[in-house]
Amino acid sequence: MKICFCYRYLILGGVTTQIANRLRYLAGRAEIACLYLEDFGGACALRDLSDITVCGDAAGQRRYFSERRFDVVSVIDSPMIYPPLLDSGFRGAVVNEVHTTTKNLAYLDGLRRDSRALARIRAIFTPSRYLANRIQGEFGFGGLCPVRVVPNCLDTHTFSPDPAPPFPNRPVVLWVGKLDEHKRYTDFLEIAAALKRAGVVCEFWLAGGQTAKHERALELYRALDRLDIADRTRWLCQVEYARMPRLYALAAGSGGCLVITSSDESFGMTAAEAMACGLPVVATRVGALPELIREPETGFLVELGDVEAAANNVTHVLGDPVLRQRMAQAARARVERICSIESAGEAFFAAIRAAVEDA
Amino acid sequence: MSGHDRISELYRGKLWGEPEQRAARARIDWICARAGGRVLDIGCSQGIACLLLARAGQTVVGVDRDPQAIAYAQDELSREPAEVQGRLRFLLTDAGAIPGAEGVFDSVVLGEILEHQDDPERLLLIARERLRPGGRVIITVPFGLHPDPDHRSTFYLSSLVEQVGRHFRVSEVAIAQKYILCVGVRSDEASEATALSADELLRLSEGALLEAERAYLERERALREKLEALRRQGAEKLEAAASEQKRAQAEIEKLRQKQRAGEEERRRLQASLGEREALLGQAREELERERRRAEEARRALERSRAELEKTQDLLGEERRRLESLGLKLRGALARSEEARQKVQTLSRDAERQRAEVVRLTQTLSGLRGGVRYRLGDALVSCFYQPRRVLSLPGNLLNLAREGWRRRRARRHARSGLLPLALTPRATPAASEKPQCAESAPAADDLLERLQRFLERVAQSDPAQPLVFMFSGTIFMQEKRANRPIRLTRALRARGAPVLFSYFRWDRQEPVPRDDDPLLLQSPIDRTLELIRLILERDFGRRQKLFVLSFPYPEVLRFLNECSAHGWVTYYDVRDDWEEFSRVGMARWYDRACERYALSNCDLASAVSEPLRRKMEALAGRPVRLSPNAYDPEFLKSGFPGEPGDKPAETILGYFGHLTDRWFDYPALFELACTRPEDRIELIGHGLPEGLTLPPNVSYRGFLSHEEICRVARRWRCGLIPFVPGKLAEAVDPIKIYEYLALGLPTAAVSMPQVESYPYTHLARTRAELPSAVERCLAERIDGARIRAFLEQNTWARRVEQILEWAFAAEIRPALRSLAVPPGGQA
């Protein structure tokens, strides 16, 4: 089977990581190629793949599809591919993958109205039941096209519990993400302040947000000052993706946990990475997170904005090493079952085969 | 003696009072004076009389039926010398049971024993039996009634004499201290009468009675006096109680008045309460109206929020578009950088090849110009152009001459006698090269220079730490050399490579070059672009120190990345930036940012104690003290601390920043007015425009250090007239060390840090500045004292202290392990 993945940006990021992880399962089972519309230096993430094409013009794209004769083309959040794809005379199966964050789903409205494209799409793949429900309901794809849940793929060999010291002296309560309203980093700061007021001994690390503007950084410093948590809060604005397993391991080894305060998550990749590394998670009950986190075995869920409940759960986790250990093992097992390279790769391959056979 | 009376203790003064003890001793001594030979003491009690008699050489037997008394007596005897013990025995027995083997005695003592008997006659008979004829019985009894409950018989003089006289001839009777003392002799002659007549007995009795009456009257008098005293005390206490009662009544009256007043107040307040409740009702109605207005406002706000969300969605779209453009731009920049590096590599290759071509061309020219080549060419040309044979001899001759000249020139070159025409031109000396310390390379040249610098660092001594000095000062220079520049010079002097980031306001301003291969200067805007290259560079085990010289908000996000890459982060607080911002400087300052810097740096220090305390309170963690220091390079000539030659007139002076943000011109002018005969000189930059100086104040300009030293040596006092306040209190001015080096005492406005410095006099207010100057002028400068102080306070010492702190501090190993590649070691 010849599969082509199409995405707009060849850039280091979530989609490229997903493709790279899938490659490790699909190698030997299928021939894989990638077509990108613009190159932002992400080829280094696809070391194992030689068949990478970057083409930004429609004519070139038409030729590409016409000449290569794939069995399946998987279009990942890139609706501009459809006109040249369909104009090329491509006869194979088309699937549309939705990986984007929920605020960027608006393109699905246009896709639904594009009857020509809609007629060729065999299935929509999306990583969570939550997103699948939204695509079917809110964006009206229910009844138009099968929507299949294909979990994201996580390299659970790299993201694994790493017991190697040194660990921080105090438990680390970790938060990962951009400093924006979607991730609601300010909620995390409020949780930190509540924990300090309650006398909980710990540190707070915010990882990410290297692209935050200076004004946003100032907001952060001022919030730390206003909430009187500057003495125990560290901002690591850039941590390379390859170092993330070590970051989760540091937090886990210190006796800490991960806190997620997002207002929405299409899959919860950060939570999955942390769980794979044995780091307990306290997250908001939003988006796809309840599908990933089974409360209380693998983590805790709180309502969006409920600072007090989150602080209480964090206190509980930090104060009970037996609970942490149990939770870490259960979370790791769950992630391996749902989104390891083997399990997620197998789910993807099965979905692709089903889409081909649906012709 | 009988019962357990404690006569021995009384005799020794352990009981009762002095009169009783004296009387007891008198009685015992009277007994011992009359008993002699072999003595029997019936009822000996604690045995004091026996003991005294045995010490006096008598042989004594003491008898008593009280076991405690005999035990006491035995114990006393055991402490006596052996010869005394040999003369005295005690028997625990009744007088009637004394063994017959004891025989008869010369004396029998009945001391204060008869009054305890129901039948005193019995003891008298026993005494007579135990006495040899002519032996003596010595008797003492209380005279008359005695309060002892154990007294069963009462003796008066006549009754005792009469009773004793039935068995003995009474030879002596006396009454002393209410006791009858009597001696009887055993006589077998019935006719021997008592030695005392009735008159004598009567006299003795009357004497005893008189004594008793006197004692009674005395006691009565004492009791009356005591009663009177008690009565007086009672009267006084009654009077005091009556006064107290009057006071209490007055107090009660006052309290009643207060109570009445309180009642009045309560009635008044109740009336007032009614009015207030009415007002409260009105206020509630007003509140209700306000609540309704607030509700309307809330609904309006909701509507506005909905509008805002719509606007935010549109902004989100725009932001995504811009992010996409940003991504494209970054990709283009990355590709452009890659291409530029390729071009540079190709350019270098091309340059090498060009040089090779030139070399080969020159070689070829050399060959073609050689005599042999030309000879061969001449011969070959004759082959192809036979007519050239005609000119061949001439050509050969010319070639021979030229060959000879060249050989001669080579010989002369080897001997150093080259003609001037053939002497190579000297290359320009390095000092003649155009100075470009302030000229500008192209801005993108900095990346290449940084990479070369980092390579040189990697090849330099690994024992030296690499220091990244993130300063907020101007670039390295002499004239405006503040703390980061001084520290950098000291670091370079000890061999530590330094990357010095300086502040520039204009991105077009050229970047200075340095001859120092281990010093690189970078303007702050470029530093922030290149910082990750520096932080992520692997320097092996070399220690690395990131010095944050000012809490610039845009660099703070890198602090923990520094730590993660093994840099020790150190916030060197050299000024109170908050106060600077209040006077309009340091516009970038944000207190929250400074607090973040203090909390996230591995260690921090401040230049003065007040500033240290302030930072410690802000950070909630220890902050060290690292004052400014002295630069030995400052003094271009002369000995530190030695005052220079002074002119006749008194000149005071100041050098440094002259901004009126902190330089107290009113205080300076006041000083100038109070000392019109003195001159005041100002050196520095930042003099406010349009400022009119008093006639005795002059501005000398912005001078080099050498010129400053030359001018300032003429001064008699250095001034630091800063505006009193928190900014001045926080400083440790570098110039004070320089004043000292010039041998100048210093008059300064209150700066607690410098209070203990030599020859430094502080004015707490402006008004005190002239008197501080006076104290300075009265000083006798001891250069040795100044030198000793400066030697302890050099920049070299500060650097060593800072490095010691930094690399003794625990680098956060956990954070550092983040920078280690997977599979590597922390």
CA distance B469 to B409: 58
Rounded to an integer, the average pLDDT of B659-665 is 90
- Of the candidate ranges A62-71, B64-73, B373-382, B796-805, the one whose mean pLDDT is the lowest: B373-382
- pLDDT value for B428: 31
| B495 interface with A at CB cutoff 8 Å | no
Task: State how far the Cα of B91 lies from the Cα of B86, in Å rounded to an integer.
Answer: 14
The pLDDT of residue B434 is 26
B535 contacts in chain A (CB < 8 Å): none
Which residues 6+ apart lie within 8 Å of B296 measured at CB? none
Q: What pLDDT score does B431 carry?
A: 33
What gap in Å lies between CA A31 and CA A51, rounded to an integer? 9
Dihedral of alpha carbons A241, A247, A249, A251, sign? negative
Q: How far apart are CA A158 and CA A246, in angstroms?
A: 10
Higher pLDDT pick, B102 / B423: B102
Question: Can you give the residue ranges of every domain in chain A?
Answer: 2-153+341-358, 172-339
> What are A37-88's pLDDT values in tens digits?
988 777 777 777 888 899 989 999 999 999 998 999 999 999 999 999 999 9
The answer to whether B327 contacts A167, with C-beta atoms less than 8 Å apart, is no
Residue of A nearest to B562 (CA): A236
Q: Give the mean model confidence (pLDDT) for residues B775-802.
A: 94
Place B433 in a pLDDT band, splitting at 50, 70 and 90: very low
Per-residue pLDDT for B415 more than 70? Answer: no
In this prediction, residue B3 carries a pLDDT of 43
Residue B1 has pLDDT above 50, yes or no: no
Q: What pLDDT digit, counting tens, does each position of A100-132 carry?
A: 876 678 889 899 998 889 889 999 999 999 999
Please give the mean pLDDT across all residues of chain A: 91
User: What percentage of chain A's residues is helix, strand, coil (to nearest 5)?
Assistant: 45, 20, 35
Q: How far apart are CA B231 and CA B218, in angstroms?
A: 20
Of B556, B595, B818, the CB nearest to A243: B818
What's the order of all strands across the beta sheet hosting B466-470? B519-523, B498-502, B466-470, B544-548, B567-573, B603-606, B624-625
User: Quick check: B328 and A239 CB within 8 A?
Assistant: no
Q: Which of B590, B561, B610, B572 is nearest to B731 (CA)?
A: B610
**Distances from the Cα of B299 to the Cα of A202, B89, B287, B290, B307, angstroms:** 42, 123, 18, 14, 13
- Pair B322, A213: CB distance under 8 Å: no
* Comparison of pLDDT for B718 and B541, the residue scoring more: B718
- Give A169's contacts in chain B (Cβ within 8 Å): 814
* B residues 431..470 contacting A (CB < 8 A): none
Are B651 and B679 in contact, with CB atoms under 8 Å apart?
Answer: yes
Instruction: Select the more confidently predicted residue: B636 or B73.
Output: B73
Look at the alpha carbons of B129, B130, B136, B140 in this order and tell me if their dihedral is positive or negative. negative
State how far the Cα of B212 lies from the Cα of B635, in Å rounded to an integer: 110
ipTM attached to this prediction = 0.89
Q: B309: which 2 tokens?
A: 């969300």
* One-letter amino acid for residue A90 of the chain: F
Residues in chain B with CB shorter than 8 Å from the CB of A232 are: 599
How would you list the strands of the sheet with B746-749, edge to edge?
A: B697-701, B679-685, B651-657, B717-720, B746-749, B760-763
Q: Of B199 and B717, which is predicted with more confidence?
A: B717
Nearest to A239 by CA among A180, A166, A300, A178: A178
From the list A221, A233, A250, the residue facing B593 with the nearest CB is: A221
**Burial B394-417, CB ≥16 within 10 A → b, else e:** ebeeeeeeeeeeeeeeeeeeeeee
pLDDT confidence bin for B158, thresholds 50/70/90 = confident
How big is the A-B interface in CB pairs under 8 Å? 101
pLDDT, one tens digit per residue, over A314-348 is 999 999 999 999 999 999 999 999 999 999 999 99
Q: Which candidate from A235, A237, A250 shows the least CB-CB separation from B814?
A: A250
Tens digits of residue pLDDT in B600-641: 999 999 999 999 999 999 999 999 999 999 998 888 677 788
B191-202: buried (b, 16+ CB within 10 Å) or exposed (e) per residue? eeebbbeeeebe
Q: Residue B194's pLDDT is what?
A: 57
Assigned CATH for A172-339: 3.40.50.2000
Cβ–Cβ contact B725 with A under 8 A: no
- Do the domains spanning A2-153+341-358 and A172-339 agree at the CATH topology level? yes
Cα-flanking dihedrals φ and ψ of residue B181, to 5°?
-115, 125
pLDDT tens digits, one per residue of B725-755: 999 999 999 999 999 999 999 999 989 999 9
**Are residues A218 and B596, on separate chains, in Cβ contact within 8 Å?**
no
- The gap between the terminal CA atoms of chain B, to the nearest Å, is 103
Please report the pLDDT score of residue B53 as a whole number. Answer: 96
B388 reaches A (C-beta below 8 A): no
Distance, in angstroms, between A355 CA and closest chain B CA? 32
Q: What is the pLDDT of residue B366?
A: 63
Render A188-240 in DSSP notation, one character per residue. HHHHHHHHHHTT---EEEEE--TT--HHHHHHHHHHHHHTT-GGGEEEE----
Mean pLDDT of chain B: 86
User: What pLDDT does B677 receive?
Assistant: 93
pLDDT-based confidence at residue B4 (cuts at 50, 70, 90): low
Which residue, A327, A213, A204, A318, is CA-closest to A261? Answer: A204
Cβ(A104)–Cβ(A264) below 8 Å: no
Average pLDDT of span B181-199: 74
Reply yes or no on whether the pLDDT at B444 is more than 70. no
Q: Which residues contact B221 (CB under 8 A, 6 or more apart)?
A: none
pLDDT of residue A153: 92
pTM for the whole structure: 0.62
Higher pLDDT, B201 or B559: B559
Residues 6+ apart with CB under 8 A from B650: B675, B677, B678, B679, B716, B777
The CA distance from B290 to B102, in Å, is 126
Q: Is the model more confident about B378 or about B267?
A: B267
- Written as one letter, the residue type at A285 is R
Structure tokens given for B239: 């009077």
Q: What average pLDDT does range B52-64 have in this prediction?
A: 95
Contact A88, A122 (CB under 8 A): no
Q: Which CATH class is domain A2-153+341-358?
A: alpha beta
**Nearest residue to B566 (alpha-carbon basis) of B455, B465, B463, B497:** B465
SS3 A125: strand
What is d(CA B387, CA B623) in angstroms, rounded to the nearest whole number?
99
Cα atoms found within 13 Å of the Cα of residue A210, Cβ hemisphere only: 13
State residue A187's pLDDT score. Answer: 96
The per-residue pLDDT for B89 is 94
What is the reported pLDDT for B792? 94
Q: Which residues of B touch A212 (CB under 8 A)?
A: 557
Nearest to B779 by CA among B643, B630, B635: B643
CB spacing of B553 vs A218 below 8 angstroms: yes
**Alpha-carbon dihedral of residues A128, A131, A132, A133, nearest 10 degrees?**
120
Nearest to A237 among B316, B331, B557 (CB): B557
**Both tokens of residue B211?**
């004594």
Sign, Cα dihedral of B557, B560, B564, B570 = positive
Say what the pLDDT of residue B602 is. 92
Residue type, B253: E
Is residue A140 predicted with pLDDT exceeding 50? Answer: yes
Q: Which chain B residues touch A239 with a CB distance below 8 Å?
A: 564, 818
Measure CB to CB from residue B334 to each of A41, A164, A233 and give the nearest one: A41
- What percentage of chain B has pLDDT greater than the value 90? 57
What is d(CA B743, CA B715) in angstroms, rounded to the nearest whole number? Answer: 9
Tell me the C-alpha distance between B155 and B157, whole Å.
7
Helices (H), ranges, B463-568: 483-493, 524-536, 559-564
Residue B824 is predicted with a pLDDT of: 53
User: What would the DSSP string read from start to end of B137-177?
Assistant: EEEEEEBS--S-TT----B-HHHHHHHHHTTSEEEEEEEET
- C-alpha atoms less than 13 angstroms from C-alpha of A105 in its C-beta half-sphere: 21
Q: Testing the interface with A: which of B308, B552, B560, B589 to mutate, by most A Cβ within 10 A?
A: B560
pLDDT of B403 over the 80 cut: no
Q: Answer whether A41 sits within 8 Å of B331, measured CB to CB.
A: yes
pLDDT at B437: 40
How far is it, in rounded angstroms, from Cα B38 to Cα B44? Answer: 15
